[in-house]
Structure 1
Amino acid sequence: MAKLICIAAAAMLLLAGCQIAPRDSTRPARTKLAAPLVVVPVEQYGHALIVTSSWDRHGPYHFLIDTGSSLTHVSPELANRYRVKNAPPTGIPPVRVRSANGDITELPTTVIEQIDLGDAHFEDVPVSIYDCSALSAHFGIKIDGILGFSLFRDTRLTLDYPQSRVILAPAKSNALVPGTTLPSTNAQSLPFVPVRLGDREIAMLVDSGSDATLNLDPTGLNLSYRAPPRPAVLVGTLTGDHLQESARLNSALRIGNYTVPEPIVYLNESLNSIGGGLLRRFSITFDQAKKNVTFYREARAPVTVPSKRSTGLSFSKTPAYWRVAGVVPDSPATWANVQAGDLVSRINGEPVAQWNFHRYERLIAEAEEVTYTFLRGNEETDRTLAVFLLVP
């Protein structure tokens, strides 16, 4: 699955994509809501939801919300500050990761005293300890952790993308939720829902931690394409980094009463999921007590998925320079002989430090071409690359 941490070319990559652990080993010991509805603003970085919270003098803290992970991950700094003293073993199975140089390591686990999101208070939270520095560099904001689905086990969670907010209610709330409600069919406590792709029903994970529109295993689906598969996204796996293929389907996706004609998909060999690229069109409510997920959007018209634009480059970022992590074959970057590992010091004449996530995203969305300044030794060379339709 093309997780954000993979797309960001993070220094450490979770091997399994979504992380699954026994239900009771990953949930907080106690969850307290100070009001019947707790509303927490979020900021959208691309298709990711990042929530900011502060509960003592050390904050604020920034967390990515990932419903595709059953485990919460926090930075070493956060774990050290809030680790429960003399905590018993977590019972969480080892979480293995692969570093950028291919080494396999296991993430340590612990229990931290608390995580607060506004007036929602989670106590004694089992976590793994994960270096979020590459994610922080990618988004241009310090990321302190990744909030997994299990954190919200004892709440009714709403991710309201159109209003840029998270809403938390008591798990047994009977308040009516508008939209189309689908049963959550997975026994491993992750939100899988049945959808229709063409004339076939398949189960898909609702995965806010994925940057894709859809991740799809094409095996046995007999897919037909409006735009055929082509390498598009850099993904890290156990065997190394590779460019994952993307395509636009001929068939429609139906999520309950909502239709997505000819969606863009990322093709993989393991997991079917709905990512943030499509979720951002909805408000999604996860009712774990009743085992269902509700999708809602005000407009009833079909959901259109725009073309994907690119210069053919993906980057791993530092404040001083961006390193080329991947080059899409048969793209403007390929024709300009850009290589993986090349360093970019400027974009359109400005240092890369001045290009935060949102500004660079707007540039790719709107510009006809982008001039990159490549640094080799002490020499800088400009190359102007056209922005093209990676997936029409």
Structure 2
Amino acid sequence: MNRAAPRTAGGWTRLRRPFPLLCLLASALWLALATGCANFPFGRGPGQTFVQTKPAALPARVLGNYFIVEAEQIDGTVRRFLVDTGSTATFVSQNLAKAIGQRERDAAKRTVPVRSANNGEITLETVTLKRLQLGEAKFDRVAALVYDFEELSAHLGLTIDGLIGFPVFRNTLLTLDYPHAQLVIAPHQPGAALPRSAGRVAVIAFNNEQGTPFIPVQLGNESFVVLVDSGSDGGLQLNPVGLHPRFAFGPRAGTLVSSISGDRAQQVGRLGQNLLLGTHVVEQPVVDVTDQLSSIGGELLRHFAVTFDQRRNYATFTRDTDGPVRIEPRRSTGLSFSRAAAYWRVLRIVPDTPTTQLGLQPGDLVVRINGEPVAGWSYERYAALLASAAKVTYTFLTGTREYDVEIPVFELVP
């Protein structure tokens, strides 16, 4: 349920977070809804962290702007995690919790009663992971919440076993290297000099008081702070309150955005001003206008290798190339979908687009794309189609009747 890729906007309903129900209100505590996803009420990181003297590197996969890694755990199974710097909590599936959770004699299960965005109440179980392994880096007694990742896994087309929050890495140097698709975890070097901004490297101090990194950025002559949020697939989420942004295009209605307050129609546009990220220039970025805290997500972060030092509270943003960062246009057919194995369900038709003239309705079911069953269209493949195709043929199902509709692909935001 989110837009399919950095160059598309109409594949699936776009999620500000990968799992909207995790941004929740606990009965006794606020689970920090505005700062990314959740403030964890029982511990901000592992009991012990073990990293060898040399960095531990793991291959990563950047899928739809999410940063995903695989690692073998103490039960011998290989598990897949989304790394989320915008979350103060760590979440694991029920299966993983059973496999590596700490079993304490006579200990009753602890749960957190929560209220979801639609005011329904659910309860999430707490668990302490005996050991979380990311290659040669090992984290003992990690506090986590148990969550069902089935919907996110179905959306991405691969099983997600957990989400690792920012505080887990508090005793390490954490690098999310998007261009080279790798996660690097290194030990702190006592007495090491603080890096300096130079050339392709920008060093930016961050505020970590909420357990997530907030950095200062500049738009035109105005400065403000943004959350560095690898758990968001978006680029710049901009709350314009107190600012005076100028737009080169829009903002206009886009796809659906799921957030802590429920689903809302996206407002998206391209700024007429550059964003300064330290010494890096992001040229007239595409932005999602939000009433939440401003943030930068994977669409923008994917241009950098980002290193976080939580002891000294600084981040380095490193690029392989010179010149400004350019965000590609967002392409769309004007349809937002939720995805199931046998069909995709239309959730929204973007207003004021060619698609609104075709008589389609939310709830309509698509069973084939360009003649192939939707089961054969992975997240990445469909994203590539929208990035390059001039039109897409969808086969809709009504009762037992199938019919084709050819829809042009257009630039939702040039």
The TM-score normalised by the length of structure 1 is 0.92
Offset at residue 20 of structure 1 (A): 4.1
C-alpha distance 13-366 of structure 1, shift in aligned 2 (>3 A): farther
C-alpha distance 342-229 of structure 1, shift in aligned 2 (>3 A): same
How many residue pairs match? The answer is 389
2:233 matched to 1:211?
yes
**Contact 2:15–2:233 under 8 Å retained in 1:** no
Deviates more, 1:284-293 or 1:115-124: 115-124
**Contact 1:9–1:315 under 8 Å retained in 2:** no
Distance 1:177 1:238 in 2: 37
2:153 matched to 1:136?
yes
Distance 1:290 1:90 in 2: 36
**Contact 1:23–1:189 under 8 Å retained in 2:** no
1:182 to 177, 195, 204: 204
2:133 to 109, 113, 116: 116
The one-letter code sitting in structure 2 at the alignment partner of 1:126 is A
Offset at residue 224 of structure 1 (A): 1.3
Aligned to 2:255: 233
Distance 1:231 1:215 in 2: 15
Aligned residue runs from structure 1 range 1-392, under 5 A: 6=15, 12=21, 14-15=23-24, 16=33, 18-21=36-39, 25-56=43-74, 59-86=77-104, 96-98=115-117, 103-172=120-189, 174=192, 179-237=201-259, 240-392=262-414
SS at match of 1:26: coil
Distance 1:21 1:90 in 2: 20
Offset at residue 92 of structure 1 (A): 9.7
Deviation per CA, 1:33-68: give whole Å up to 9, x if none.
134200110011121111011225662211111100
C-alpha distance 93-294 of structure 1, shift in aligned 2 (>3 A): farther
The one-letter code sitting in structure 2 at the alignment partner of 1:60 is V
Deviates more, 1:326-335 or 1:72-81: 326-335
**Contact 2:219–2:245 under 8 Å retained in 1:** no
- Structure 2 stretches lacking a partner, 5+ long: 4-12, 25-32
- Structure 1 stretches lacking a partner, 5+ long: none
Offset at residue 375 of structure 1 (A): 1.4
Offset at residue 21 of structure 1 (A): 2.4
Offset at residue 113 of structure 1 (A): 1.5
Offset at residue 357 of structure 1 (A): 1.0
SS at match of 1:362: helix
**Contact 2:214–2:226 under 8 Å retained in 1:** yes
Deviates more, 1:263-272 or 1:77-86: 77-86
**Contact 1:252–1:260 under 8 Å retained in 2:** yes
Offset at residue 93 of structure 1 (A): 7.1
Deviation per CA, 1:180-238: give whole Å up to 9, x if none.
11111241121101111110111111111111110010112122110011122312245
Offset at residue 9 of structure 1 (A): 8.2
Deviation per CA, 1:77-102: give whole Å up to 9, x if none.
11122221128799997654347xx6
Deviation per CA, 1:88-132: give whole Å up to 9, x if none.
799997654347xx6232422221212211111111111111111
Higher relative contact order at CA 8 Å, sep ≥6: structure 1 or structure 2?
Answer: 2
The one-letter code sitting in structure 1 at the alignment partner of 2:331 is R
C-alpha distance 24-172 of structure 1, shift in aligned 2 (>3 A): farther
Distance 1:12 1:23 in 2: 17
**Contact 2:86–2:229 under 8 Å retained in 1:** yes
Offset at residue 325 of structure 1 (A): 2.4
C-alpha distance 115-96 of structure 1, shift in aligned 2 (>3 A): farther
Deviates more, 1:80-89 or 1:324-333: 80-89
C-alpha distance 279-239 of structure 1, shift in aligned 2 (>3 A): closer
**Contact 1:38–1:119 under 8 Å retained in 2:** yes
**Contact 1:75–1:131 under 8 Å retained in 2:** yes
SS at match of 2:43: helix
Deviates more, 1:279-288 or 1:219-228: 219-228
Identity %: 40
C-alpha distance 161-79 of structure 1, shift in aligned 2 (>3 A): same
Distance 2:19 2:342 in 1: 17
The one-letter code sitting in structure 2 at the alignment partner of 1:69 is S
Deviation per CA, 1:233-254: give whole Å up to 9, x if none.
3122455422121111111100
